[in-house]
Amino acid sequence: MYMIPAPQLEELVLTQKESFLSRNPGIPREIATIRFVKTDAIVVITGIRRCGKSTLMRQLSAQYSDFLYINFDDDRLMDFSLSDFPSLMLVFEKTSPGIKVLFIDEIQNVSGWERFIRRIHDEGYKVFLTGSNANLLSAELGTHLTGRYTKITLYPFSFRECLLFRSIDTDRITEKKKAAILAEFDRYLTGGGFPEYLKYGDTEYLKRCYDDILFRDIISRFKIREVKGFRQLAHYLFTNTANAATYNALKNTLGFKSVVSVRDYVGFLEEAYLIFEIFRYDFSKKKQYVNDKKLYCIDTGMRNAVAFRFSDDKGRILENLVLIELLRRGKSVYFFKNPKECDFIMEDKGKITGAIQVCYELTRENRDRELGGIDGAMTLHNLTAGLILTYHQEETITLGNAVIQVLPVWKWLIEYRDDIDCPPESVIKPAYVKKIKNVAVNLVKEKGKTYASMDEFIRNIKQPSRPGSKRRDP
């Protein structure tokens, strides 16, 4: 068995750490980094390639006066195996004696890594890991490191992070600042949030990332033989993002011989964080898996760089952006159809907590359909507040005892960070809804004050917050 010579390993470790320390720490991500520093658990940072995992690790490392570092996404470590870890630890002790904080990039490239990590964690090391394959990491973590780790799933930049990157402040929005925010939102909608793309605006970079992930993380790793068919499937899913599909329909459309192959290939794309599969909500878990699904891609910029684009894409691109933001916020998301459709409903501990409909624009032609879909979801799941996200419109709609807030997506992205069931039921209680539904649209009077619109009225409602929570006005 080949062993990497100790002098070569030492030189590599020192070179990598020097490079890591010289890395630009970038902008702070919307992650409570101090919480992960304070915990004794292994911290696992996972997500698609090039989304900023190593940069986040660099930000975390700034909390320590010294640390150990190794990056296995390095051609000089292609032959590194489990038997090389003892030599690596000797090198670490020689170069940084007594240090027990370890950062490891792309750990999944070493077979059997979880046994080594478990041992050194038990010996008192604080360990941070990154990886780019969801299934590989979850399977190994669940098998060998149960109860020992906490996980951060990282995505490309959120819109708020993009604004921070562009030095655009979102406090006290003036007309001039709003114009800058809207211009950046248009760019974000079409260009996405990959950090390197934000720096240089190079769509070829997004294409290279996409191809790199397909070949390195999927085709090579899973030894796919139907390379042409697999690439056609990936391209088809990116082109048709936010559309409903079944594995059988995909098989027939793309000419695959087996539904199992399609299911496996979609699974591989999910594991690499390129595709996300959202199920139609049903109280029966079995029906959820049998029914059609909706498939979304990781980033609207990458999608636009590699897929065919059509004139009616705008609504689906907006919907894709909202889905990724919901996942970024850690929400469990489904779509509703019974028989009308609501794009997203959020579930927490077996209960549906919110409903969101997304359309580029509410028009006379689609208004009944869009309202019918979200109203159906709210009625079935006893929700009194819902949200319709559009490109630019803003209004408040009452349907019986329910209030539906219509908001521009850009405003939701920067204003509603904690409570995504917007406007949340905790903010608009049924008693307030009853007041609202009997009020004229053009002139509202409440407690002796005059409001120009329902929207202003809702924003100015004052009520006690839930115990232990901070009230946020809608």
Six-digit token pair at 84? 């090389």
> Which residue's entry shows tokens 């990959």?
194
By the 8 A CB rule, do 276 and 298 touch? Answer: yes
Round to whole Å and give the CA distance between 333 and 244: 15
β-bridge pairing 243-245 and 275-279: unpaired
Domain spans, the chain: 6-154, 202-309, 329-439
Q: CA of 202: how far to CAs of 52, 191, 199, 369, in Å?
A: 17, 9, 9, 38
Q: Which residues contact 317 (CB under 8 A, 6 or more apart)?
A: 189, 190, 241, 242, 300, 303, 304
Question: Which residues of the chain are under the pLDDT cut of 70?
Answer: 1, 135-137, 139, 416-474
Q: Which residues contact 19 (CB under 8 A, 6 or more apart)?
A: none
Q: End-to-end CA distance of the chain, in Å?
A: 63
Mapping DSSP onto H, E and C, the string for 206-225 reads: HHHHHHHHHHHHHHCCCCCC
Exposed, middle or buried, 464 (CB in 10 Å: 0-12/13-18/19+)?
exposed
Q: Which pLDDT does position 416 carry in this prediction?
A: 58
By the 8 A CB rule, do 23 and 55 touch? Answer: yes
Round to whole Å and give the CA distance between 185 and 353: 28
Judge if 6-154 and 202-309 fold alike in CATH terms.
no
Q: Which pLDDT does position 434 carry in this prediction?
A: 37
> Which residue's entry shows tokens 């630019």?
392
Query: Could you read off the pLDDT of 198-243 as tens digits, one per residue?
Result: 999 999 999 999 999 999 999 998 999 999 999 999 999 999 999 9
The third-level CATH classification (topology) of the domain covering 6-154 is Rossmann fold (3.40.50)
Round to whole Å and give the CA distance between 334 and 348: 11
Exposed, middle or buried, 255 (CB in 10 Å: 0-12/13-18/19+)?
exposed
Closest-CA residue to 114 (of 46, 44, 217): 44
Q: Which pLDDT does position 3 carry in this prediction?
A: 81
Q: CATH for 202-309, among 1.25.40, 1.10.10, 1.10.3470, 2.60.120?
A: 1.10.10
pTM of the predicted model as reported, rounded to 2 decimal places: 0.86
DSSP state of 344: E
Measured in residues, the chain has a length of 474
Q: Which residues contact 239 (CB under 8 A, 6 or more apart)?
A: 307, 308
DSSP state of 11: H
Closest-CA residue to 206 (of 159, 156, 241): 156
Six-digit token pair at 391? 């490109």
By the 8 A CB rule, do 161 and 60 touch? Answer: no
By the 8 A CB rule, do 48 and 272 touch? Answer: yes
By the 8 A CB rule, do 378 and 402 touch? Answer: yes
By the 8 A CB rule, do 159 and 300 touch? Answer: no
Round to whole Å and give the CA distance between 345 and 374: 9
Query: Could you read off the pLDDT of 409-441 as tens digits, one per residue?
Result: 999 999 855 443 333 333 333 333 333 334 333
By the 8 A CB rule, do 334 and 281 touch? Answer: yes
Six-digit token pair at 451? 């409001």
| DSSP E strand stretches across 303-401 | 332-337, 341-348, 351-358, 385-390, 395-399
Greatest Cα-to-Cα distance within the chain, rounded to the nearest angstrom: 84
- Partner residues linked to 71 by β-bridges: 105
Helix, strand counts (H, E) of the chain = 20, 16
Q: CA of 80: how far to CAs of 1, 23, 71, 410, 430, in Å?
A: 11, 24, 11, 46, 62
By the 8 A CB rule, do 61 and 26 touch? Answer: no
